[in-house]
Each structure stands twice: as C-alpha cells, then as structure tokens.
C-alpha cells in the first residue's frame, strides 16, 4: 500500500500540522497502519454499519426516544459498499 492519496494530504492533514513535522509523519503512519488492518474487510465494515443503523430506529422507538436515520445515510452506505466490493473484485481479478 503506497501513499494515502491526495485526499488525506489535503483534507485531513493540510493545515492541521506542519509540512515536514514529526506529528504529520505519525498521523500518516497511523492512518496507513489502520488502512492496512482494514485490507479485505471494508465491505464487511460498511455492511455492519448499515445493519447497526437499521436497528437504531426500532430500538430507539422502543426506548421512547425515536431517532430517524435519513435515507441519504443509507444511500451513502450503499455507494460505499458497492465501491469497496468493486475494488475487492478488481483486486482479485488482478491477482489471477
């Protein structure tokens, strides 16, 4: 796994820490380690999050404090799930 990509540098890191500082290197190292641990598990993670959110509404209603999860959240999770699934299939095709 190479660099974290432009999104990590511009969105997460840019302006938050010095360009060549030790803190930036630690943040990038931690993010890289986290992404390595998630290798092959991202689709399952998205599915688990969607399942938990699907249970939030009925459980919160039972507890007397109804919470509604917006439909847009499910749309984003569906897109993430399909994206991670497609990436996994692409990687498996490249290995064969």
d(CA 58, CA 75): 19
Rounded mean pLDDT for each run of 10 residues along the chain, 96 residues in total: 52 57 82 82 85 91 91 89 82 72
pLDDT of residue 81: 85
d(CA 34, CA 28): 10
Measured CA to CA in angstroms, residue 23 lies from 8, 34, 77, 94 at distances of: 14, 16, 31, 35
pLDDT of residue 17: 55
Domain residue ranges of the chain, discontinuous segments joined by +: 6-37, 42-95
User: pTM of the prediction?
Assistant: 0.58
């Amino acid at each position: 796994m190479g660099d974290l990509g432009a999104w990590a540098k511009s969105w997460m890191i840019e302006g938050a820490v010095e360009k060549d500082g030790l803190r930036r290197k630690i943040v990038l190292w931690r993010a890289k380690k986290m992404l390595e641990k998630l290798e092959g598990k991202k689709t399952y993670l998205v599915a688990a999050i969607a399942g938990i959110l699907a249970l939030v509404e009925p459980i919160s209603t039972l507890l007397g404090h109804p919470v509604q999860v917006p439909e847009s959240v499910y749309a984003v999770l569906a897109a993430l799930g399909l994206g991670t699934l497609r990436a996994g299939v692409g990687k498996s095709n490249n290995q064969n």
